[in-house]
C-alpha cells in the first residue's frame, strides 16, 4: 500500500523575490512576506482521498442494518452514521469545488496524477452508500417515496458512467509501474448492489422493476470483470485488501437472483420454475465468489501490519480496511438466510462489531492527523505558486498593450496582500 497510503504532494521549486526569506511551514511569516492563510492551505491540500472516510462511515450503517437481531435503538445509531456520511460527502464535494475555482492548476494536477487521480471515482462509490442509506432510512419514514428512489438510481448510473469511463481513459494514458500498484487501480461500480436495494422499495409488478434488475446485472458484471483483471496483479504484489470485487458481486448476484425469481415470472418473461433455477444459479455463483473474497481478505490482512506504513500522514490509506469488506460481510447474512444456519449470523455479528471498532480507531486517528496538519494541508510554497501563477495569468490576459507593465512591476503588484 505504498502509493495508496501516500498523501504527500510533490514539492515544486518556487522562486520568491529576493526581499523574502524562505521559512518553514510551522514558522510565522516574517515582515514583508506574502501571507498564506491556514484555510487556503487546507483547500489547496484537499484531495479525492477524503472520500474513503465517508465510504467507511457508510460501511458501518450498511453492516449494522444487516444484523439478524436488530433492535429499534440500533436504527437511531445507523441514522446518525447516515447523516454523518452525507455531511462528509458534502464537505468533500464543496471543498474540491472551491479548490477547482480558486486553484484550478492544483485541481487539474490531482485528476491527472497517476496515483492520486485514481481516487476520483470514489465519489461515485461514496454516493452509492448515500443512496443505500436513503432507501433504508428515508423511505420507511416516509420522507421519500419509491419514485424518488427509482429516479435516484438512474442518476447514479449516469453519474458512474460519466465519472468512471473518462477516468479510465485518463488513467490508461499514463504509464504505471507494477511496484506502485494499489487497490484503487481497480474500478468498482456498485450498480448491482444499489439495484437490489432499489428493488426492495419498487413493486415487483411494475415494469420499471425489470429495467432496474437488468441494468443491475449488466453493470455489476462490467464492474466485476474489469476489476477481476486486476486481481492477478494483486496476487503478484500483495499490498492490501482486494476482496471488494468478488465480495460485492457475490452479494449482488444472490440478491438480484432473489428478485429475479419474483420479477421475471410476474412479467411472463420466464416460468416460475426457470425463475427458481435462475435464483439457484445465482446462489451457487455467489457462494463461489464469496469463497474467493474471504480468501483474498485473509491473504491480504495477515501481512497487513508488517506492510503498512505506520505514519499519521498515511492514515487515509488505512480506510481500505472498511468499505471494501462490506460486500462479503453482508453476504454472510444472506447465506444465513438461504441455508438457515445460525453460524452465519454469529459470524456476521462478529464482523460487524469488528467493523465498528475499526471505524472508531481510524476516525480518531484521522481527526488527530487532520488537527496536527499531517493530512489535507498543502505547503505554503505550493499555495503561493498556484495562486500567484493564476493571478499573473489573469493580469496578463486583461492587460492592454498601451498600459502594459514590466514583468517585475507586475510581479510586485500581484504579490501584495494575502493569498
pLDDT tens digits, the chain, 419 residues: what are they?
444 344 433 334 444 444 444 444 444 455 556 788 999 999 999 999 999 999 999 999 999 999 998 888 999 999 999 999 999 999 999 999 999 999 999 999 998 887 777 788 889 999 999 999 999 999 999 999 999 999 999 999 999 888 887 877 766 676 666 555 555 555 556 899 999 999 999 999 999 999 999 999 999 988 888 777 766 666 655 545 578 888 999 999 999 999 999 999 999 999 999 999 999 999 999 999 999 999 888 887 877 777 676 788 889 988 988 998 999 999 999 999 999 999 999 999 999 999 999 999 999 999 999 999 999 999 999 998 888 887 787 777 777 454 444 444 544 554 444 44
State how far the alpha carbon of 49 is from the alpha carbons of 39, 52, 150, in Å: 18, 6, 29
Coil vs helix vs strand at 363: helix
User: Rounded CA gap, 26 and 16, in Å?
Assistant: 18
pLDDT of residue 301: 82
pLDDT of residue 231: 65
pLDDT of residue 180: 56
| Residue recorded with cell 455467489 | 286
User: Rounded CA gap, 203 and 207, in Å?
Assistant: 9
Strand segments, DSSP code E, in 218-337 are none
Residues in contact with 412: Cβ distance below 8 Å, sequence separation at least 6, in sequence order: 17
Read off the pTM. Answer: 0.83
Helices 146-172 + 122-133 axis angle, to 10: 170
pLDDT of residue 354: 96
Contact status, residue 40 vs residue 305, Cβ threshold 8 Å: no
User: Rounded CA gap, 73 and 156, in Å?
Assistant: 30
pLDDT of residue 9: 36
Give per-residue burial for 61-74: e unless 16+ CB within 10 Å, then b.
bbbbbbbeeeeeee
Coil vs helix vs strand at 255: helix
pLDDT of residue 288: 95
User: Rounded CA gap, 8 and 403, in Å?
Assistant: 42
Contact status, residue 135 vs residue 198, Cβ threshold 8 Å: yes
pLDDT of residue 365: 95
pLDDT of residue 129: 95
Q: What is the DSSP letter of 138?
A: I
User: Rounded CA gap, 85 and 93, in Å?
Assistant: 12
pLDDT of residue 127: 95
pLDDT of residue 16: 41
- Of 123, 142, 235, nearest to 188 by C-alpha is 123
State how far the alpha carbon of 72 is from the alpha carbons of 64, 65, 79, 82, 350, in Å: 12, 11, 11, 16, 20
Strand segments, DSSP code E, in 234-381 are none
Amino acid at each position: 500500500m505504498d502509493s495508496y497510503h501516500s498523501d504527500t504532494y510533490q514539492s515544486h521549486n518556487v522562486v520568491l523575490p529576493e526581499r523574502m526569506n524562505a521559512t518553514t511551514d510551522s514558522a510565522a511569516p516574517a515582515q514583508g512576506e506574502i501571507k498564506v492563510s491556514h484555510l487556503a492551505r487546507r483547500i489547496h491540500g484537499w484531495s479525492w482521498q477524503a472520500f474513503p472516510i465517508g465510504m467507511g462511515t457508510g460501511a458501518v450503517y450498511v453492516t449494522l442494518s444487516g444484523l439478524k437481531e436488530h433492535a429499534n435503538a440500533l436504527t437511531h445509531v445507523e441514522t446518525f452514521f447516515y447523516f454523518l456520511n452525507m455531511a462528509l460527502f458534502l464537505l468533500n464535494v464543496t471543498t474540491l469545488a472551491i479548490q477547482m475555482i480558486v486553484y484550478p492548476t492544483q485541481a487539474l494536477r490531482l485528476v491527472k496524477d497517476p496515483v492520486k487521480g485514481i481516487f476520483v471515482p470514489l465519489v461515485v462509490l461514496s454516493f452509492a452508500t448515500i443512496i443505500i442509506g436513503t432507501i433504508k432510512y428515508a423511505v420507511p419514514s416516509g420522507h421519500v417515496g419509491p419514485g424518488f428512489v427509482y429516479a435516484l438510481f438512474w442518476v447514479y448510473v449516469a453519474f458512474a458512467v460519466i465519472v468512471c469511463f473518462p477516468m479510465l481513459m485518463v488513467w490508461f494514458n499514463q504509464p504505471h509501474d507494477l511496484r506502485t500498484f494499489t487497490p484503487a487501480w481497480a474500478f468498482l461500480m456498485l450498480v448491482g448492489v444499489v439495484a437490489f436495494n432499489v428493488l426492495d422499495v419498487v413493486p415487483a409488478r411494475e415494469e420499471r422493476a425489470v429495467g432496474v434488475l437488468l441494468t443491475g446485472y449488466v453493470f455489476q458484471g462490467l464492474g466485476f470483470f474489469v476489476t477481476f483483471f486486476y486481481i492477478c496483479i494483486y496476487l503478484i504484489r500483495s499490498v492490501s485488501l482486494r476482496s471488494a470485487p468478488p465480495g460485492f458481486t457475490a452479494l449482488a448476484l444472490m440478491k438480484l437472483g432473489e428478485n429475479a425469481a419474483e420479477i421475471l415470472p410476474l412479467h411472463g418473461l420466464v416460468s416460475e420454475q426457470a425463475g427458481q433455477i435462475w435464483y439457484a444459479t445465482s446462489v451457487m455463483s455467489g457462494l463461489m465468489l464469496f469463497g474467493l473474497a474471504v480468501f483474498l481478505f485473509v491473504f491480504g490482512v495477515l501481512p497487513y501490519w508488517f506492510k503498512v506504513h505506520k505514519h499519521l500522514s498515511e492514515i487515509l490509506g488505512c480506510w481500505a480496511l472498511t468499505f471494501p469488506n462490506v460486500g462479503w460481510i453482508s453476504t454472510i447474512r444472506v447465506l444465513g438466510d438461504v441455508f438457515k444456519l445460525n453460524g452465519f449470523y454469529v459470524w456476521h455479528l462478529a464482523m460487524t462489531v469488528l467493523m465498528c471498532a475499526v471505524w472508531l480507531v481510524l476516525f480518531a486517528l484521522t481527526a488527530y492527523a487532520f488537527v496536527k496538519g499531517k493530512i489535507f494541508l498543502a505547503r505554503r510554497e505550493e499555495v503561493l505558486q498556484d495562486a500567484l501563477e493564476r493571478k499573473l495569468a489573469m493580469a496578463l490576459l486583461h492587460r492592454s498593450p498601451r498600459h502594459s507593465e514590466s514583468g517585475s512591476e507586475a510581479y510586485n503588484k500581484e504579490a501584495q496582500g494575502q493569498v
